[in-house]
Structure 1
Amino acid sequence: MRILINTTNFAAHFDREVKALTQYDIDIYGLKDKQYVYDFESGSEFFEELEQDLISSGHFKTHLTLDKSATMLILNFDIQGEVGLVCDRSLEDFDESIDLKERLILKYSDHDEELGDEIELIRHETVRINVARYIFDYIALALPMKKLHPRFRSDETEDEYEEDEEGILVYQSQDQDTDSDDTESEEVDPRWEALQKLKGKQ
């Protein structure tokens, strides 16, 4: 699944000769059947040129190995760095670390088609590919669903733990020792007490 970017015609925009993105062009026409290695260093202009509002800035490096054969290209991405996000709670800017590895298979065909998250078809006559779109997609998909500034994350974990606790129903067997501390009976969960009443017990 590819990320939908807020632009009216991303494909047309992406085909334009944009200086910040042309460095991600890879000429595949005439490549021999062997492995190739590419390294890219990206800054905030990468995200600016993509005209999206998910990521505001960033700096990262991409190490790409491309294995070419007569029928396909296998691309292995190793992306490390950080990207700038906006906190969903406070609207503050903060940096999110990224460290991910992804694989993409481009198979030669008579037409272009996306078959899944890892496989795409490209035409036999394709001269070059631009990997900027793939890099952005991998980064975007790796981001947390809820974007929180690091100072809020411990609070968020505690809130989630409390929510989980509220869903726990504690059961006490009648066979257990009845000589337990009387104070425990005084602090019975009201939800448990209500269930007891439904059973005709006080």
Structure 2
Amino acid sequence: MDKLRNYDISFSGLKIGKHEFRFEINKEFFQLFDTEQEFTNPKIDVEVFLNKHTTFLEFEVKVNGTVELVCDITNENFDYPVENQIGILVKFGEEYDDSEEDVITIPANDHAFNVAHLIYENVALSIPMKKISPNISDEDLAILEKFSPKEVEEENEEQEVDPRWEALKKLKDKN
């Protein structure tokens, strides 16, 4: 966790109320995680809003920038805009627990909360499953459509059944 220390937000000395933190993240940030990214060349601005209450913390993490993706169709690189936000409630308890979707419990004696994983998650959720370049041509789409699987219409509902299947079906019906 030491390598992510730059993303600790120390809340113990802050007054009750709203606070704002800013980060600029690039490929070095993503290299801190031991996972392979589906993108390259990230240039992302991060705003972290903290609303400190007496018994809990509210975090809102907004990411805005671009990443470079590889088009699934043309295999060309293109810039993809990344814009997303997530909110999380941090409460105090006995030990760390992130089993709830929007609530994280941290030990009551903690004085800081690390937002690196929230930033990482926020960017990862912004990446589409299908990566299609906005520069793809109509010709490329036509070729893709030509070779895409098509649904076969069955003209005859009573197609001839392989006799081996019929023999297996008879065995099944006996049991």
Shorter-normalised TM range: 0.7 to 0.9
Counterparts of residues 31-46 of structure 1 (less than 5 Å): 31-46=14-29
Quick check: 45-54 or 132-141, which moved more?
45-54
Match of 2:67 among 83, 87, 103: 83
Alpha carbons of 1:153 and 1:106: their partners in 2 closer, same or farther (altered >3 Å)?
farther
Question: Which ranges in structure 2 are unaligned for 5 or more consecutive residues?
Answer: 159-175
Q: Please report how far the alpha carbon of residue 127 of structure 1 lies from its aligned counterpart in structure 2 after TM superposition.
A: 1.8
Q: Secondary structure at the match of 2:125?
A: helix
Q: Secondary structure at the match of 2:91?
A: strand
Q: Please report how far the alpha carbon of residue 45 of structure 1 lies from its aligned counterpart in structure 2 after TM superposition.
A: 1.5
The answer to whether residue 136 in structure 2 is matched with residue 148 in structure 1 is no
1:149 maps to a residue whose letter is: S
Q: TM-score, normalised by structure 2?
A: 0.72
1:46 maps to a residue whose letter is: F
Equivalent-residue separation in structure 1 for 2:62 and 2:21 (angstroms): 11
Equivalent-residue separation in structure 2 for 1:60 and 1:149 (angstroms): 20
Partner of residue 53, structure 1 = 36
Percent pairwise identity: 25
Aligned residues of 2:61 and 2:85 also touching (Cα < 8 A): yes
Equivalent-residue separation in structure 2 for 1:64 and 1:129 (angstroms): 12
Partner of residue 70, structure 1 = 54
Equivalent-residue separation in structure 1 for 2:76 and 2:64 (angstroms): 23
Question: Which ranges in structure 1 are unaligned for 5 or more consecutive residues?
Answer: 1-14, 168-189
Alpha carbons of 1:191 and 1:56: their partners in 2 closer, same or farther (altered >3 Å)?
closer
Equivalent-residue separation in structure 2 for 1:74 and 1:105 (angstroms): 5
Equivalent-residue separation in structure 2 for 1:96 and 1:32 (angstroms): 38
Aligned residues of 2:74 and 2:136 also touching (Cα < 8 A): no
Quick check: 86-95 or 140-149, which moved more?
86-95
Match of 2:6 among 7, 23, 39: 23
Q: Please report how far the alpha carbon of residue 120 of structure 1 lies from its aligned counterpart in structure 2 after TM superposition.
A: 1.0
Equivalent-residue separation in structure 1 for 2:102 and 2:40 (angstroms): 26
1:191 maps to a residue whose letter is: E
- Which protein is richer in strand relative to its size? 2
Partner of residue 129, structure 1 = 113
Higher relative contact order (CA 8 A, sep 6+): 2
Equivalent-residue separation in structure 2 for 1:44 and 1:77 (angstroms): 19
Equivalent-residue separation in structure 1 for 2:77 and 2:65 (angstroms): 16
Equivalent-residue separation in structure 2 for 1:122 and 1:107 (angstroms): 6
Q: Deviations over 1:33-84 (max 9, x none)?
A: 2111111122222122224221332101111210111221111122110112
Number of aligned residues? 152
Partner of residue 117, structure 1 = 101
Equivalent-residue separation in structure 2 for 1:71 and 1:105 (angstroms): 11
Equivalent-residue separation in structure 2 for 1:49 and 1:85 (angstroms): 20
Q: Please report how far the alpha carbon of residue 96 of structure 1 lies from its aligned counterpart in structure 2 after TM superposition.
A: 1.5
Partner of residue 191, structure 1 = 153
Alpha carbons of 1:41 and 1:127: their partners in 2 closer, same or farther (altered >3 Å)?
same
